[in-house]
Amino acid sequence: MSAESLARFAALTTAHVADGCIRAGVPVRCGPAGLRAVVQGDRLAGRVAPARHVGSVDVFLEAYELAEPGDVLVVDNGGRVDESCVGDLAVLEARAAGLSGVVIWGLHRDTADVREIGLPLFSLGSLPTGPLRLDARPDGALASAQVGEWTVTRDDVVFGDEDGVLFVPSSRVSEVLDAAEAIRDTERRQADRIRAGETLRDQLRFTEFLARRQEQPGWTLRDHLREVGGAIEV
């Protein structure tokens, strides 16, 4: 992920990026709703460094060997909530390897130490116990990771903030950020106009929409916005 893209995301939210995906025709791939940062307000962005956990830390250490500075370790632990799979040493080593964060489809532990380390970490929550198992390592354990319903690889970028995480194909990041910035700027102007006393309903000519729908029940707000799009900001 380029330094330019990182700088651009600093002025955006994941909500903007999700809307940018829709406008750019890119599938919206959000992580499960429970994925949250250990430290409120933490953000991350970087290329995915995938790792499928089977009970041992060595898969993370190997992932660090393959990673590039700025990558984000994305751990697939199947969404398990009966064990934690990442602790303070794995996070400290990620920072030493130059990674910019960790995302876990599962749980972490050593929360106090993780906070002190300062590397952004997103997970489904915490649990004191680590894994009490050692399963066979699957093929491709470092090639892809599952996060909720999505499979991600090194060809993806992950973005995270207080709303959660989402994944965008690396090849579409610039296009998605272009759309996200345009949406952000429009929304800011609309918000300024609401604060100045012009309601969003007035801005969108909502009474016109209601009148049209009364005559034409199948008429949607999206139809209305397309029709009058040159006269309003959407």
Binding-site residues for substrate sit at 87-90, 109
Half-sphere exposure of 151 (CA within 13 A, CB side): 5
Which residue positions form the known binding site?
A: 87-90, 109-110
Residue 118 CB burial class (10 angstroms; 0-12, 13-18, ≥19): exposed
Residues tagged in the binding site annotation for Mg(2+) = 110
Q: Which amino acid is at 24?
A: A
What is the C-alpha separation between 227 and 41, in angstroms, rounded?
39
* Cα distances (Å, whole numbers) of residue 193 to 15, 66, 126, 151, 167: 21, 49, 43, 41, 32
Q: Tell me how far apart the alpha carbons of residues 121 and 139 are, in angstroms, rounded to a whole number.
A: 26
Q: What H or E segment, with its residue span, contains residue 21?
A: helix 14-24
